[in-house]
Chain A
Amino acid sequence: MASEEVDCISELPDEIVTHILSYLPVADAFSFKLVSRRWSRIQVPLSNIYFSDETIFGKTIFFEGCSNLEKLKSEFVDKVDGFLNLFRGPYLNTFMVDFCLDNESAPAIDKWVSFAVSMQVESIELAFNNTNSQTLYKFPFDLLPEPKPFTRLKRLKLSACSLLLTPESPPPFNCLKTLELKNLPLDQTSLDGVLSSCLDLEWLTLEECEWPRTLCVSSAGLRGLRVHHHLPTSTIELNATQLQTIDLKGRALKLSFLVVPPLERVHLAFLNPYAAKIFFDLLPAEVRPKFQILSLKWFTANSIHARIPEFSCLKQLDFFSPIYREFDLLSITNLLNACPMLQKIHLNMNISSRHSESRIIEKVEYSNNMKYLHLEEIEISRFRGTSNQMKLVIYLLNNAVALKLITLIYSQCESHDYKWRNVEHLSQSKLLSEKQVHELLCKVMISHGAELIIC
């Protein structure tokens, strides 16, 4: 081997090396990053494709009541076909179609999915805006690439489609890590078929999906589950030994566990006051103690009762609540009292009522003597300096003996309901300015070791 071989490829300009690399299969484009530092700096172009009313027609189309919808649909399909015929790769990163399409366009859509797969796409999303459950596009799972030799496809999201599965022909294995289903009619057979074909599945989302009464979700590697729905009285049976994260939003959902998962992160946003109760009641005794992070969106005026079961491992609590007039802020302490190991709290109080003072309808009992031995960090967003908020802050300061940092955030958050809000409104209520809050709290904090930030 001649040691004086000219590094001829280093004489080539970057654009040419990029061009050469773009002819290579995806795997090479990444493995060759190891050839030298220069090669790894060369970016091989990856594309993200997004077909929607905006990108195809240049304007937003309202599908409901659209008079020439059929014509638009066929034009959309033709344009996407045309674009993909001309597409010269080299490969795609993500592929998304967001339009009102149904099973009539199935041959074309199947082709697009195959094309995306051949382009080594990482994520496919079909967001069809179709309210007619009879005509939903049937997604053919056998189009998904098999694990061998190699595939990049990790994520699939289907909206308003249906799963094309029969018990006689289960789909072949695929490599999906994330599966998101929205507005999809589900039944046990199809879900079983899909889940058993996704060997690597880690995250499953079911959003506004319908299923008869009880649905069993059985997946050996599942780490996270998100269920957002508004149907009354539905049950999910969970059979997932690795489940760490749960995200539930909506009406009462009965969750039952066939095996006890190591649930650590729980996000709950209940629109119904009883939903929280049902959830916690149904939780097996072994599950609750494992929670490490709990995020609770409390959309109810009911204050938090004292009899909350203990969360012995909980380290972080995120509590979001629109402040109703009847809601007793200090009842949050009941929740805090149930978490002896709590280290961090984030409270986000979205003031939706006109008055900052809340009339406390329910007199809720709370213990004043609990010391929070591990609480180190408190953050309160949308702080207004109302007397109830101040009461809570002072209580926390007095009882959190290990507190290191407390942050009170005044600045407007990204909430929608503030857009219309007349700022004068707020100034009429009894609010304290940042300066006043600072003065008040400094007195309390003189002997405290903690740091106070007001911003």
Chain B
Amino acid sequence: MSTEEDTVQEKKTISLKTSDDEVFELEENVAMEFGTVKAFFGDDGVPRDMMMPIPNVHSKELTRIIDFCTKHLDLKPKAELDEAGKKELRKFYKEYMKEDTTERIMELILAADYLNVNDFLDLLNQTVADRISNKSVEYVRKLFGIESDYTPEEEEALREQYAWAFEGVDEDPAED
């Protein structure tokens, strides 16, 4: 067994209060992944034991964001070391959002945007983009529940103007 460290690291935590009045205690290094939190506490000034309100974020989203940041913080330094680490990080990115509905991803995007969690935001945006990449316009509308506000003539004109962009679009998946 390793010998005791001479200096014991004090576990620093930061408290966040969500919109549904839940209080979360996070390890400081995880909390500092949130750009908003980092800016709030700054290098000095606001004492770390102060509780930071995040009224725009629900506990449901925060739980997930904390989960991502914790895992991400663990994998990132390993990815810098070797190929195996890089592979693991890539796998993490690929699998992490697989099960979530698009609606859920949207909620997470809003939360991650507010908290300024850039790495997670990138992943979320990329995931949405992957889901709509090369799909038809109708598919995108259905996915997000958007109703077209174009007249049929306007739409026709646009289709002609960007004809080149519609080549090779995926077939819409069969309805179930």
List residues of A whose CB falls within 8 A of some B CB: 1, 5-13, 16, 19-21, 23-28, 30-37, 39-40, 149-150, 152
Q: B46 contacts the other chain (Cβ, under 8 Å)?
A: no
Partner of B145, one of A6, A12, A24, A150: A6
Partner of B144, one of A9, A19, A28: A9
Chain A residue contacts of B148, Cβ below 8 A: 34-36
Are A34 and B155 also in contact (CB < 8 A) when A8-B106, A11-B106, A23-B126 are? yes
Which applies to chain B's interface (DSSP): helix, strand, loop or mixed?
helix
Chain A residue contacts of B133, Cβ below 8 A: 23-25, 28
Partner of A36, one of B113, B135, B147: B147
In the complex formed, the residue of A with least CB distance to B175 is A1
In the bound assembly, the distance between CA atoms of A81 and B94 in angstroms comes to: 30
Are A36 and B162 also in contact (CB < 8 A) when A16-B125, A19-B125, A28-B133 are? no
Does A8 contact B103, Cβ atoms closer than 8 Å?
yes
In the bound assembly, the distance between CA atoms of A149 and B168 in angstroms comes to: 7
In the bound assembly, the distance between CA atoms of A34 and B141 in angstroms comes to: 10
Q: When each residue 16-58 of chain B gets 1 if its CB lies under 8 Å from chain A and 0 otherwise, what string results?
A: 0000000000000000000000000000000000000000000
Does A31 contact B113, Cβ atoms closer than 8 Å?
no
Chain A residue contacts of B145, Cβ below 8 A: 5-8
Residue count of chain B within 8 Å CB distance of chain A: 38
Does B150 contact A37, Cβ atoms closer than 8 Å?
yes
Partner of B137, one of A13, A34, A150: A34
5 CB contacts below 8 A, A to B, read A13-B113, A27-B168, A31-B137, A31-B165, A32-B132
Chain B CB count within 10 A is highest, among A5, A12, A34, A150, for A34
Query: Number of A-B pairs whose CB atoms are under 8 Å?
Result: 97
Does B162 contact A31, Cβ atoms closer than 8 Å?
yes
Partner of A7, one of B109, B137, B144: B144
Partner of B146, one of A24, A35, A150, A152: A35
Q: B97 contacts the other chain (Cβ, under 8 Å)?
A: no
Does A27 contact B164, Cβ atoms closer than 8 Å?
yes
Does B109 contact A12, Cβ atoms closer than 8 Å?
yes
Q: B75 contacts the other chain (Cβ, under 8 Å)?
A: no
Chain B residue contacts of A37, Cβ below 8 A: 149-150
Does A24 contact B129, Cβ atoms closer than 8 Å?
yes
Does B125 contact A31, Cβ atoms closer than 8 Å?
no
Shortest distance between the CB of B61 and any CB in chain A (Å): 14
Chain A residue contacts of B100, Cβ below 8 A: none
Chain A residue contacts of B150, Cβ below 8 A: 34, 36-37
In the bound assembly, the distance between CA atoms of A26 and B162 in angstroms comes to: 11
Which applies to chain A's interface (DSSP): helix, strand, loop or mixed?
helix
In the bound assembly, the distance between CA atoms of A36 and B132 in angstroms comes to: 15
Chain B CB count within 10 A is highest, among A27, A30, A37, A152, for A27
In the complex formed, the residue of A with least CB distance to B166 is A31
Does A150 contact B140, Cβ atoms closer than 8 Å?
no
List residues of B whose CB falls within 8 A of some A CB: 102-103, 106-107, 109-110, 113, 121, 125-126, 128-130, 132-135, 137, 140-142, 144-150, 155, 158-159, 162, 164-169
Shortest distance between the CB of A31 and any CB in chain B (Å): 4
Chain B residue contacts of A28, Cβ below 8 A: 132-135, 165
In the bound assembly, the distance between CA atoms of A20 and B106 in angstroms comes to: 11
Does A32 contact B140, Cβ atoms closer than 8 Å?
yes
Shortest distance between the CB of B105 and any CB in chain A (Å): 9
In the bound assembly, the distance between CA atoms of A32 and B141 in angstroms comes to: 9
Chain A residue contacts of B140, Cβ below 8 A: 32, 35
Shortest distance between the CB of B155 and any CB in chain A (Å): 6
In the complex formed, the residue of A with least CB distance to B159 is A34
In the bound assembly, the distance between CA atoms of A20 and B166 in angstroms comes to: 19
In the bound assembly, the distance between CA atoms of A37 and B113 in angstroms comes to: 24
In the complex formed, the residue of A with least CB distance to B107 is A8
Partner of A35, one of B141, B164, B166, B169: B141
Chain A residue contacts of B159, Cβ below 8 A: 34
Shortest distance between the CB of B145 and any CB in chain A (Å): 3
In the bound assembly, the distance between CA atoms of A19 and B110 in angstroms comes to: 13
In the bound assembly, the distance between CA atoms of A16 and B164 in angstroms comes to: 26
Shortest distance between the CB of B124 and any CB in chain A (Å): 9
New contact pairs (10) apart from A11-B110, A12-B106, CB-CB < 8 Å: A1-B142, A10-B146, A20-B129, A23-B133, A24-B132, A28-B133, A28-B165, A30-B162, A34-B148, A149-B168
Partner of B158, one of A6, A8, A13, A33: A33
Shortest distance between the CB of A12 and any CB in chain B (Å): 6
Shortest distance between the CB of B11 and any CB in chain A (Å): 34
In the bound assembly, the distance between CA atoms of A35 and B155 in angstroms comes to: 9
Does A150 contact B168, Cβ atoms closer than 8 Å?
yes
Are A149 and B167 also in contact (CB < 8 A) when A7-B144, A23-B129, A24-B129 are? yes
Chain A residue contacts of B110, Cβ below 8 A: 11-12, 16
In the bound assembly, the distance between CA atoms of A445 and B99 in angstroms comes to: 83
Chain B residue contacts of A30, Cβ below 8 A: 162, 165
Closest 10 CB pairs of A and B: A5-B145, A23-B129, A31-B165, A9-B144, A30-B165, A27-B165, A8-B106, A34-B137, A30-B162, A7-B145
In the bound assembly, the distance between CA atoms of A1 and B141 in angstroms comes to: 12
Does A20 contact B125, Cβ atoms closer than 8 Å?
yes
Chain B residue contacts of A31, Cβ below 8 A: 137, 162, 165-166, 169
Chain B residue contacts of A152, Cβ below 8 A: 164
Chain A residue contacts of B144, Cβ below 8 A: 7-10
In the bound assembly, the distance between CA atoms of A8 and B110 in angstroms comes to: 10
Chain A residue contacts of B125, Cβ below 8 A: 16, 19-20, 23
In the complex formed, the residue of A with least CB distance to B141 is A35
In the complex formed, the residue of A with least CB distance to B164 is A150
In the bound assembly, the distance between CA atoms of A100 and B121 in angstroms comes to: 42
Are A16 and B113 also in contact (CB < 8 A) when A35-B146, A36-B141, A36-B148 are? yes
